[in-house]
Chain A
Amino acid sequence: MPSRLIVALVCIGLAPLAQAADISFNRDIRPILSEYCLACHGPGKQVARLRLDQADAALKGGKSGAPAVVPGKPAMSELVKRLHTGTESERMPPASTRKAPSPREVKLLEDWIASGATYEGHWAFEPLAAVPVPAGEGAVIDRFLQATLRDKGMAMRPEAPREALIRRVSFTLTGLPPTVAEVDQFLADKAPGAYERMVDRYFASPRHGEEMARHWLDIARYADTHGLHLDNERQMWAYRDWVVNAFNRNMPFDQFTIDQLAGDLVPNPSLDQQVATGFSRCNVTTGEGGSISEEWVYRNAVERASTVFTTWLGLTGACAQCHDHKFDPISARDFYSMYAFFHSAADPPLDGNALLTAPTVRLETAEVKARRDKLNARLAETAASLVALARAADYSDPAKAMDKPAPVTREEAWFDDAFPAGGRVFASPGHPTQYVDASSGKVFSGSKALRRTDSGLAQDVIEGMPAKSIPKGAKLFAHVYIDPANKPKTLMLQYFKGGWLHRAAWGDYDAIPWGKAGTTERVNAGPLPESGKWVRLEIEASKLGLVAGDQVTGFAMTQFGGLVYWDKAGVSGSADPAADPALSLEAWWRSQRGKNQTGVAEPLAGWIKAGPSARKVASEISQVRDHFIATAWDGASKEIKSLRAGREAILTELGSFDSNAPGTFVYRDLDKPRESFVMMRGQYDKPGEKVEPAAPAVLGTIGVKDRRANRLDLARWLVSPTQSLAPRVIANRFWQQVFGVGLVKSSGDFGTQGDLPSHPALLDWLARDFRDRGWNVRDLIRSMVLSRAFRQDSAAPPPEWAKDPENRLLGRGPRIRLDAEQVRDNALFVGGLAKLDMGGRGTMPYQPPNIWEPVGFTGSNTRIYQQSKGDSLYRRSLYVFLKRTAPAPFMSNFDAPNRETPCSRRERSNTPLQALQLMNDTQHVEAARGLAARLAREAPDSAARVRLAWRVVVSRLPEPDEEKSAVAFLERMLARYGADKEAAGKLVRAGESPVPAGIPEPDLAACTMLANLVLNLDETINRN
């Protein structure tokens, strides 16, 4: 068989033996030149001033003056002479390249010159001309395909059986198999148009957007971690959900393009449009200490520009990063002109290992919105009550007193029941903040305290709180209750003034290594205090290097190990009543000058912010006074203070929505663009010629005059009516999705080194139709799915396979192995386990131990895999958390990319590791058990169970020989597990879902083995 295959291959498309009469430059000659000549005599480099990829230059020749190509006269052509010369030094290609054209290739060159040496531009860069549709009947796609088949003496196969068709359509459009009911409905529909109606049912399913998104997210390199070094979690699943939604809404592809590349630049961008710009934030980033910022500004821009090249233009820009492309007419200048669009990114070069690296937007769920509205209403009520009480309060400003008042000692709590509003409150990752009340723990004052128990370092922190002033003679304090049975090694108080540079430690001084020892960054405050009672930790602020007037904007209560309750923390010190913002209205008002007022409505907030000197109207002053009494005055009544604490708590919770609400990465530019240069040899610190944002010269111009082109111009240009390359690339990728192989097989490379289209005219027709009729993705895919080509039987006699092993000519229906996600989703679905909730943070299904742990960085927050529980285990694979440096094995085992770089085409391997997974992975065994329960319940005997298993999994009834073999296996397993109930009990307990009740375990176990068998069928893991 191998030798037959070889011969057949040569006959078909891939390595065509052209007749001298119909040699095509693009098909036959350019690949030879590209392979052997153009590296030195092409667009990038012209050694000896010779260039061979353009007619004028080749006819003229190089330095020697002899024409390289003399049309009609191979023997006179220097090109041919140099191939044959016996003089070593003159022979081309030089021996040093270790390359030599085959006799067939030499003959082709000679024949081409003999027949006139007609040059063509590279096919993919040619305009999309109107293509005449071949005569004949049926859909346009079929007419093109059949014309080629006819030329090769082949024909299409008959239509596949309906059971195969619906399964093929269902997987293509939704990534899931059809249900038995759906199959029955389709089989029963005898009216004309049954197939079209079935197709439309799957288009209408929300599962459709999920399947479409999966393919796009490969090229968008979407994942849930940063990808480099720590590989911490990154929150941008909203982008993934946007893609799903866009496909479900059948968003036109031009808008889909514009929103992702430039959603931030359209007029009044919606939240959705901003979310869409996450496309250009999906690249891997680093936060590795020691990294050089300039280098990463450069690298991120290079990555983003390359991604645009790959995604929309099907070109590999990466070569031109270092030098002019040797084969494609993409110069380094072209590459860096594209790079210039992305070089002014507003995100920092290093990601800070943060969940959300700016710029980001916050998302609001319906529940959060409801809670926010409720809190705002309560805030308004509280404010009204406070104002009423404040208005009645008796207050005179000590600053206005005739005699200078004497200093007083005053204590200010920064934490008591709640942290101050307006800051970002957080705890050590994985160690959430826990509040207790008197019934559940120890409380020192107010109604609540913090409880923290830990084996290592852990803390509660607030950053960015409204500045707290350090008074004269200040002492910083916090109250702690140490559990006598579980004492910590160390307690620490930390303060933020322009940096975390002020710490006091009680207990083991070295247990928490933060800050430079022996300086104010880490002061030894003495031994651990007594346990079993409330104790006040206290230290003079001056010892920590904090002096009167310093502004503290954050603090942390930190411990190493133990069980500790923390309560009332703050500062005490001496105050001059006339100058203390907690006692003097005048002083307070001054302190608020220029500050935004959290939770205060306009115009009051504006008056406060303006400061006391700006305001003279009495009614306004009195409103400010009331606000001061209500929110700040230390001498206020107990009633006011209690309401005030309530108000603080509401503001804190409102603030926490902002800091805790999920967010997503978005793309923005710096206000002032960076200057961009061609970087010599691709080095970040070797700028050459300056460039402005522009399209690659060979593809035309963006056409913006009098101003700098921006990403919106780029996006619009990519989907403009004159664009020819992008529509070809996009239409081809959808073709690949439906038929398994693109018309251009190298779907990520439309350059001269890429594959030629198997059906150039069909590709052009599809691309043009797609572009000119509004970029309607669903119409395009529907036209493919409705074609006769798609609906053919994929079974074919061996000679047909031999003629066209890869089915490039579509003389039979497409038969392709399911993708990784489809393999798992299929098992979950037929096993009755699948949970079809959409969107949100990635889920963590079963995973063997030690996938993340042996590779994760010690400090990474994705070092330890924390498997989900309950329904989350069974969500679709699209929603599985993707850690780039250690992707889920069920994904990589079946060729899913790790999303470090854009992937325009997955391969489909066939390995023993896949077999092991399908046989033994808990996920698959549990799914088999799920299916087994259905078989045992719904079918009375072994034959019926086998028939049902076939119907559920492969949508058809078994053939008699299949049934016989499967029944024999089932009977054998029934006997085996009937005799070994212990083994049966073990097998049926796979996974975390409960064992179905009411089925004898040996029956269930035997049916599980039957289901395991059926789930491993080649037919099951193929789209047949």
Chain B
Amino acid sequence: MSAFKLAPDEPTRRSFFEGAGLRAGSVALGLLATFRASAAPGRVHPPVPGLPHHKPTAKALIYLHMNGAPSQIDTWDHKPVLKEYFNKDLPQSVRGGQRLSTMTSGQQRFPVAPSKFTFQRMGKCGTWANTDILPYTARIVDDIAVIKTVHTNAINHDPACTFVMTGSEVPGKASIGSWLAYGLGSESNNLPAFVVFTPRFPDGSNGQALFTRMWSSGFLPTAFNGVALRGAGDPVLYLRNPEGVTPADRRAMLDALGGLNSISSARYHDPEIQNRISQYEMAYRMQSSVPELTDLSGEPRHILEMYGPAVTNPGSFAHSAIMARRLVERGVRVVQLLHRGWDQHGNLPRELGNQCRDTDQPTAALVTDLKQRGLLDETLVVWGGEFGRTVYSQGTLTPETYGRDHHPRNFCMWMAGGGVRGGQVFGETDDFSYNITKDPVHVNDLNATILHCLGIDHERFTFKFQGLDQRLTGVEPQKVINGLLA
């Protein structure tokens, strides 16, 4: 159970906070803040004592989740040999007796659909990249590590998304962002530790659902929920004062409130009252720090242009991407962008192109921008979906158009910065991108690796709930993928 080896002078922090392993109540949290503050003076979001376990190679995580499952065959798993198999049946020997989603399990044939896109070797490393729809990311391949062999347990969107973000298909567990916010706290005193964006996606794409459980704290204290920075309305919920109330009015109200709450505190001596007073002050600080965060007027023109024309448009992927950089600059621990519409059961070439038009340029810009500021060395960027797509076509197949069904057996993700060795391709699949032939990376291996980069040993990073030492990477043995690391 010893998630964190306790310092001798802190014999009860654990019994308090995790104690019986249930969600910590207010008193426990209040105390937790006190304990943690002593470990990291001056920090509003201090880390759990004992963390990080080792010297981290990344201070922050930016997770770009392409929701719906981007086709690996049309993005990063280039399979030139497939051209010869156009509209031929996928050999039975390749398919084996694999589980199919019931959307295609009744299909009469499994005709191979080669990618219609052009791939070129790019960068010094020569990684194959789709230069038709990923022209910008193609130019930063020397900075990224493409993983071709990620695999998952789930075959449908809801369980797979829940799995990739919480390490379990069943709702109720904590998301990776919440784990990190809980364990490492945040360097920022004026912003939440874990920030989430759900940018707009192209009209006409098949937008699968997102779930707040993908950024929720699950069994961890709710204070570690991801906070959505929003494209419409207030960027943070209820941030703006009501119409007719100025910051000066609010300050006057808070001064009066602080005084009155102090009177209560002197009467009851409930430590939560002092805590509440500081939470109101934090709220007040956010009322100015968040507008400062979202104000792009100080960004040089060439930087804005690098992210593309949508960058000034709140709610776009490009705007969210530059916000991600601005957030990690300000010490926020985890930023997550969840972009929808990557579920191409049909009409894949056109729709996938639309998806990439939204995301390719800003994604490459984000990595480049972090790099030129020296932030990429301490920021881990992760890109990927929840599973892959089949080599055989679902529905109509022509050389120009096709669709692909769900494929959990292998899919592509990439990582950049934060201790990852760029310019490499990790793992290999067969000629049909149907089976892994070398170096499999389970979703939970990937999550273990992310934690590792952030200085955490995933096996020792636990939280007691329902009688178990819960951890992000589940009960099965998982491993850090050392080959990915610099």
Contacts and interface: CB of A to CB of B under 8 A. Distances in A.
Given A848-B233, A910-B279, A5 B31 contact: yes
A291 B102 contact: yes
Given A746-B21, A892-B212, A910-B272, A292 B102 contact: yes
A984 B222 contact: no
B34 interface: yes
A418 B284 CA distance: 61
B444 to A, nearest CB: 16
Nearest to A1024: B268
Interface stretch (B251-259, B358-366, B418-426): B251-259
A848 B235 CA distance: 11
A330 B238 CA distance: 47
A900 interface: yes
Contact of B208 (A849, A857, A907, A965): A857
B12 interface: yes
A757 B425 CA distance: 55
B336 interface: no
Interface in A899-933: 900-901, 905-917, 919-922, 925
Interface in B445-486: 459-460, 464, 466-468, 475
A354 B156 CA distance: 19
A322 B200 CA distance: 40
Contacts of B466: 316, 318-319, 748-749
B308 interface: no
B29 A910 contact: yes
Interface residues of B, number: 103
B212 A886 contact: yes
Interface string B220-239: 01110101101111101111
Contact of B467 (A292, A754, A886): A754
Contact of A798 (B20, B101, B269, B406): B269
A915 B207 contact: no
Interface in A746-784: 746-749, 751-755
B467 A753 contact: yes
Contacts of A1016: 253, 257, 280
Given A746-B22, A755-B19, A910-B279, A1013 B253 contact: yes
Interface in A1-35: 1-2, 5-6, 9-10, 14-15, 35
Contacts of A912: 279-280, 282-283, 286
Residue of B16, B35, B209 most packed against chain A (CB within 10 A)? B209
Interface string A967-991: 0110011001000001111111110
Nearest to A10: B12
A292 B257 CA distance: 56
A856 interface: yes
B91 interface: no
Residue of A318, A797, A805 most packed against chain B (CB within 10 A)? A805
B20 A755 contact: yes
Residue of A816, A889, A1018 most packed against chain B (CB within 10 A)? A1018
A568 interface: no
A423 to B, nearest CB: 29
B269 A797 contact: yes
Nearest to A920: B238
Contact of A230 (B209, B239, B287): B209
Nearest to B101: A290
A989 B209 CA distance: 36
B459 A98 contact: yes
B80 interface: no
Contacts of B20: 745-746, 749, 753-755
Interface stretch (A281-289, A367-375, A465-473, A707-715): A281-289
Given A9-B12, A319-B468, A754-B467, A848 B238 contact: yes
B243 interface: yes
A103 B165 CA distance: 39
Contacts, number: 300
A496 interface: no
Given A919-B241, A1017-B257, A973 B22 contact: no
A18 B272 CA distance: 30
A848 B234 contact: yes
Contact of A976 (B10, B209, B249): B249
Contacts of A1024: 268
Contacts of B279: 910-912, 914-915
Interface in B45-88: none
A123 to B, nearest CB: 14
Given A848-B234, A920-B240, A987-B244, A885 B256 contact: no
Residue of A816, A817, A912 most packed against chain B (CB within 10 A)? A912
Contacts of B296: none
Contacts of A855: 198, 209-212
A340 interface: no
B350 interface: no
Nearest to A1016: B257
A281 to B, nearest CB: 17
A933 B28 CA distance: 40
A299 to B, nearest CB: 8
B178 interface: no
Contact of A850 (B35, B231, B239, B271): B231
Contacts of B467: 316, 319, 325, 327-328, 749, 751-754
Interface in A526-578: none
B238 A885 contact: no
A856 B200 CA distance: 12
Contacts of A893: 237
A895 interface: yes
Interface in B96-144: 99, 101-103
Nearest to B265: A1018
22 contacts: A2-B31, A98-B460, A100-B2, A231-B209, A290-B406, A316-B468, A745-B20, A848-B233, A850-B230, A854-B228, A854-B230, A887-B212, A898-B216, A908-B26, A910-B29, A915-B282, A916-B237, A961-B263, A966-B256, A976-B249, A1013-B256, A1018-B265
Interface of B: 1-2, 10-12, 15-16, 19-31, 34-35, 38, 99, 101-103, 155-158, 171-172, 198, 200, 206-213, 216, 221-223, 225, 227-228, 230-234, 236-246, 249-250, 252-253, 256-257, 259-261, 263-265, 267-273, 275-277, 279-280, 282-283, 286-287, 405-406, 459-460, 464, 466-468, 475
Please list the 6 inter-chain residue pairs (A to B) with the smallest Cβ-Cβ separation, ordered nearest first.
A987-B244, A290-B101, A986-B244, A753-B467, A915-B283, A755-B20
Given A857-B209, A915-B283, 13 more contacts: A290-B156, A291-B102, A316-B468, A753-B467, A753-B468, A794-B268, A801-B269, A801-B271, A913-B283, A916-B236, A969-B256, A973-B249, A1013-B253
